[in-house]
Structure 1
Amino acid sequence: MHEKEFLAARLDEQRGHLRAVAYRILGSLSEAEDALQETWLKASRAELGEIDNLPGWLTTVLGRVCLDMLRARKARRETPLDDEPAPLVRLVHRADPEEEALLADSVGLAMLVVLDTLSPAERIAFVLHDMFAVPFEEIAPIVDRGTATTQKLASRARRRVRGGDAGPDPDLARRRAAIAAFLAAARDGNFAALLEMLDPDAVFRADATAVTLGSRAELKGAAAVAEAFSGRAQGACAALLGTAAGMAAGVVVAPLGRMSMVLAVTFAGDRITAFDVIADPARLAGVTVAAG
């Protein structure tokens, strides 16, 4: 009994770290807990006393569990059970405010959106190496690749996260910052600040899919647009959007990191003149997102 308690204490010492790893890999609190439970089950069957590097061993086991979960999710083409679609008109109601805040603070909403577009192996390699400094030599067995190939997986993921190899565009950075300020004012319900950032003739337009999900088809004038955003936008973030026309700053609405729509933003000088909502799946498929 004493030995079991000792081993349980050693496992509990790693719980916080492993939970953070699983959370960032999976983007879901409930799935992270499921991954931890599976890891604990595997650990209970192992001879832990013979393992020299317990944290490394547990991370490897957890990584394999998470990889299997990501592959199963991709095969089923379904999102985690705690990820509920949000009414577009509210831009966006949070199914779980505490979890949404945790995700945004620990990873960044735009980052979660990009991670969701990666292959399971790319996501594992990038998160473990770039976020937790796990050596490629230890990641390679998890994804069943050689070390060099694992490095390439992480490199591809890194390019996706950064939006390609092009250098930073000062204009894009400035507009993204302006959009982030607008969304912050929206979340705070600062109507006056929203008006200040909008062109007097600003418009809000939504595609047919967004309208069927509850969005207004069109709003005209700064006051109407500001009212639509005021006190909302908790599940939205500023991001760089890649389309056939090139890279532009815009808005991604992604409850719990799953992209449900994007808003193309048009500027005249430093003021926003238009928001164009894209929710049609076919059109969304042609949009890439970069965390910056």
Structure 2
Amino acid sequence: MFVPVMQSAAQTPSAALSNPTAEDIVVVAQRSGIPVWRVTGPRTTVVLVGSIGRVAPGTRWDPVSLDAALAKADRVMFPEKMDISLGLFSFIGVVGKWRKQASLPDGQTLQAMTTPAQWARLVALRDRGILKPGFERKHPYHLAMTLNGLTRDRRKLDPGADAYVRRFLGKNKAKQVALEQGNLKDVTAEFFGSASRTHVACLMDAVTLVETGAAGIQARASARDARSAAWAARRIPDALAARADNGQRSCWPRGSRLEQARDASLGPKIHSLMNSPQVTLAVMSLDTLAEPGGVLDDLVAAGFDVRGPRWKRQDATP
């Protein structure tokens, strides 16, 4: 559900050009200080905004300029996002499965699923009072989510580009490109049908974070600060390098059929935008855009002209 906000001066009709161009939009968006790329093809131009989600407190960027750029775009979209339909009975069913899954089936224990070294690490957390007695009967994914809750950055994070775009669309729904549709039951079917053992890697990632203690939490907070500052300054390689481990590298939906299908569809989806005469502003994860072999690399390889901040250490793109 989108969160409405009060309309800023940058969103008023007098602030928008009657026939804005992609160049106008990019120039305005660049004033925000965040990474924006202009992708030009034979028929049109697409504006790509790189997002890192919520940002560290005190990060300096100008959301008003982003609002102004959104006002000038013909349409706005989130190519990576999916709208999950949430019927009452479907929701109740998923909640029921989640609760039932929390405890392992009779005859299964975490000790039988883990190596001796992994089990020793779990026992050590129990001896420290971090895991409760009886943890060995808990599903590894559920236990991982509990441990991850102990290592989160507890500061009040500031809204990032995603939040501001969603708020803008709350007032300008006509510009929104509909999200791909998904059904909650279908999306979670693979997860609930998976063997408990396949989630042990996720659990051990969470254990690693807990083992680092307060020093690890501080290090991840510092990494978020560095990533947010680099993002707002458009230092893309630095922002990519500052990605902090959140303990979920091996957790569902990573590697799931859902994620694989989404990743496979991104390239064709972005390419299809280049065949439309409308100017589209698309908000995407900075990592998806700028990582090696990501969307920006794919667009360059396909022959499109990509202009914006450099996203590689040795990249010469202006």
Is the structural similarity TM-score above 0.5? Answer: no
More helix by share: 1
More strand by share: 1
In which range does the TM-score fall when normalised by the shorter chain?
Answer: under 0.3
* TM-score, normalised relative to structure 2: 0.23
- Larger RCO, structures 1/2 (Cα 8 Å, 6+ apart): 2
* TM-score, normalised relative to structure 1: 0.25
